[in-house]
Amino acid sequence: TAFLNFSRRLEGFQGRGSLGSGHQNATLAATKGEFASVSFFGVDGRQGPYRLEDRAGADGVIVVAGSEKVFLDNELLLRGEEEDYVIDYSTGEITFTSRHLLTANSQITVDYEFSTARYRRGLMFGGGENIPVGPLGSLRAAFFRESDDSDNPLGGDLTAEEREQLAALGDSALSVSGGTRYVGPGLGDYLLLADPETGGDIFVFVDGSGDYQVFFVEVGESRGTYEVDPDLSSETRTVYVFVGEGRGTHVVRRDLPPPQARTVANLRWEKMGEAGEIFLEGAVSDEDRNTLSDFDDGDNGGDAFWLEARADTVELVEGVFLRPAVRWRQVDEDFSAPGRIRNSFYGRDWNREGNEELEAEDLKEGSLEVGWQAWNWITEAGRLAVADTFKAVRTRQTLRYQDHGLLAEGKYLRVDQDGMGLHDGGLEQIRLESRWSRGGLEPRGKVFSETRERPGRLDGERFWEWEGALGFPVPKTRLRGEFGLGRRLDDERSTLVAPWNLRRDARRTFFSLNGQVQSLGVDMRYENRDVHLPGDEREDRNVGRMDLRHQARRGAWSANLTVDVGSFGLRQRTKEIVADSTGFFDQFGNYVGAGGGFDVQFSDFGPEVLTSQLNLRNRFRWSPRSEMEGIPTWLRKLAFEGFVDLSEASDLPLGTPRYLFSPRSYLNRDHTVNGRLRSRQTIDAFPNRKRLGLRLVHEWTRGITRNQGSVGDGLLEISNESVWTATVR
């Protein structure tokens, strides 16, 4: 539906049924995380990582596995090293593969669920669809509720004091602040130490000589980890001492967000007939951002409305067809949906930033489609009002021709915006595209221009972009290739009367080859992006992939080789080994326990630096069957499997031939920032015999990490490990 479009990873019960032509379903389950959606622009030439955040804007979240949906320029991507992106669920970091070269204009949207340490969250959903109402059509009804269980917080039961604090917050605050605050050396009453038994954090009272101020809450007898020390306490202060898990009466106060609940009820009416179809949908919601408080509850409720009507195709005169349509959507500023109800970067087509939240939306649109032979024309007009701050009228014209292998399309979009200020803002887009297929050749071209003027801010931006490519078959193979060029010029100006200034000149060259050559599968892509910036600055970005896979027809051997290259952001921190009589490390940074004489010190992670990254994976397998003919007898008595996996970040530019083609440039002491090589070879003698066999395995691992240093060249770490294993069966 328009307002209940959501996805969740659940654990629980689901039931389905049918009655007549209607279908019903019900769900009662616990969610694995909390839903979030973020939209942002890419960074020029950086494939990743891009970090996801929680609702408070903090990164480093744990993403629920499989919950993410990643969109690039409004297209849904696939997860996987051989697809569009990879994700580290433990850190919430997304990295895009060489299929897409990211730029500053790349529009990225990610829907995902992240794990929280707050409350157990339950979900109820029930609904029915295709419920007949006689000649009036059919209905769809749905009920959704998602709520935190305040009686079962994940960090332990809420104390009476915590409930009082949360009740006093209302709906405006994100959380009750935690009970620890770092105030600096000698400014606090407590010192942070490590528990020698568990390794956990404990706070020790040192009376004004510590680094922390700590606040405690009472949880009951034998349920806490601290207790009041009557000897050190007085009428003006209370001192707490650590006594162990389950032995005390108090705990350190938690950073505790308020429990939340969201309820949505939705009803949709559908009527379809020979004249056309009509859809009418309404929804009401109630979102309580703090179920323990009655404050600020006046804005919990909201509603939304959607109407769409499309007439069936009407033949106006012979060969000329018409199809009109209208749409109307209203969304109250307090309406809360469990998922996104708009396309990613929805506001960009209305001359807004595109990734902001829209409130109190009122959208009215109409369109008319006209068809004649190979021609198709669509004219659209609409008006969008957002609260009392934004109003705009948009018109769009689309003309398309398709016949005899030629597809040509032109689009014109215009937005006139009333910004309630000194100037009216506007948006103008012109897009022309064509593709022709003839005799195996497939030339294509694209021209796109855009001009934006923003009201109130008195500035503007524009770009002009073109791209041309030629697709072609490779003779005597099932391979197809494509070679193309492109260029984009971005301008900007500080005021609406100032001249345009060049901001970026990006030039692209790309090539692809994919298909099959007998038993060899080929997938190759390469793209170079040369960016010219003001002041004669220049940036060179490359991304590429080569994937070769061979499977012998007899099945005796197979091999594959995959190489990915690209530019990625890398955050480093300094690591230093310093003399310390109480340290637990030796002079090389190895942990040796008490009496080591040295300590290892790390700084915080620094800003991201673009590095060249390469991933190479190779696998070869020989596994003949005993009955195979045409293979020498002694060769059928051997089986082999080996793989090599190399991953590294380097400060050498990707376009440097030495880096691409010289093996000595990989895992190099001078240029590798972080690299790792894994190799494994396995030889089996008599693999088809059950009573006798010999297996020989060699595993080799090598790693290099070049740590930055506060002074000097920093610390270089090199690790090598080689293991041989022999097994007789």
Question: What is the tens place of the pLDDT at every residue in 545-559?
Answer: 888 888 765 667 788
**CA 641, CA 599: separation in Å to the nearest integer?**
43
Least confident of 79-83, 450-454, 689-693: 689-693
CB atoms within 10 A of CB 278: 17
Closest CA to 35 of 347, 287, 304, 256: 287
Q: Backbone phi, then psi, for 238, in 5-degree steps? A: -120, 130
Range 269-291 average pLDDT = 90
**CA 3, CA 305: separation in Å to the nearest integer?**
9
Range 641-660 average pLDDT = 79
pLDDT score of 31 more than 50: yes
Q: Backbone phi, then psi, for 346, in 5-degree steps? A: -60, -40
Tokens of 416: 């006139």
The more confident residue out of 317 and 93 is 93
Condensed to tens digits (0 to 9), the pLDDT of residues 204-256 reads 898 888 888 888 877 778 878 899 998 888 878 889 999 888 888 888 876 67
Kindly indicate the confidence band of residue 421, based on its pLDDT and cuts at 50, 70 and 90. very low
Tokens of 592: 């040796």
Tokens of 673: 């920032």
Burial class for 9, CB neighbours closer than 10 Å (0-12, 13-18, 19+): middle
Tokens of 273: 């007939």
Closest CA to 614 of 658, 680, 558, 550: 658
Task: Give the up-direction half-sphere exposure of residue 244: CA atoms within 13 A in the CB hemisphere.
Answer: 3
**pLDDT of amino acid 419:** 55
Range 477-487 average pLDDT = 92
**pLDDT of amino acid 328:** 96
Tokens of 318: 């012979």
Closest CA to 83 of 68, 97, 73, 103: 97
DSSP E strands in 73-225: the ranges are: 75-76, 85-88, 93-96, 107-114, 119-132, 138-153, 180-182, 188-194, 201-210, 212-214, 216-218
**pLDDT of amino acid 331:** 93
**CA 612, CA 659: separation in Å to the nearest integer?**
10
DSSP 343-379: -TTGGGGGTS-SSSPP-SEEEEEEEEEEEETTEEEEE
**CA 46, CA 300: separation in Å to the nearest integer?**
41
**pLDDT of amino acid 262:** 93
pLDDT score of 423 more than 80: no
pLDDT score of 517 more than 80: yes
In angstroms, how far is CA 180 from the centroid of its own chain?
Answer: 32
Range 527-542 average pLDDT = 82
Query: Rounded to whole angstroms, what are the CA distances from 304 to 6, 234, 287, 326?
Result: 16, 59, 14, 17
| Dihedral angle, C-alpha 384, 390, 391, 394, nearest 10 ° | -60
Tokens of 330: 């209203």
Condensed to tens digits (0 to 9), the pLDDT of residues 69-102 reads 999 988 999 998 878 899 989 888 998 887 888 8
Kindly indicate the confidence band of residue 422, based on its pLDDT and cuts at 50, 70 and 90. very low
Kindly indicate the confidence band of residue 622, based on its pLDDT and cuts at 50, 70 and 90. confident
Range 437-446 average pLDDT = 91
534-552 in b/e burial notation, b at 16+ Cβ within 10 A? eeeeeeebbbbbbbbbeee
Describe the chain by its helix, strand, coil percentages, rounded to 5: 5, 60, 35
**pLDDT of amino acid 255:** 66
Q: Where are the domains of the chain?
A: 32-119, 156-161+175-252, 301-458, 567-571+607-728
**pLDDT of amino acid 195:** 72
pLDDT score of 702 more than 50: yes
The more confident residue out of 662 and 282 is 282
Q: Which residues contact 89 (CB under 8 A, 6 or more apart)?
A: 62, 63, 64, 65
Q: Backbone phi, then psi, for 13, in 5-degree steps? A: -125, 145
pLDDT score of 474 more than 50: yes
pLDDT score of 450 more than 90: yes
| Dihedral angle, C-alpha 145, 151, 152, 154, nearest 10 ° | 100
The more confident residue out of 169 and 84 is 84
Least confident of 415-419, 462-466, 554-558: 554-558
Range 126-134 average pLDDT = 84
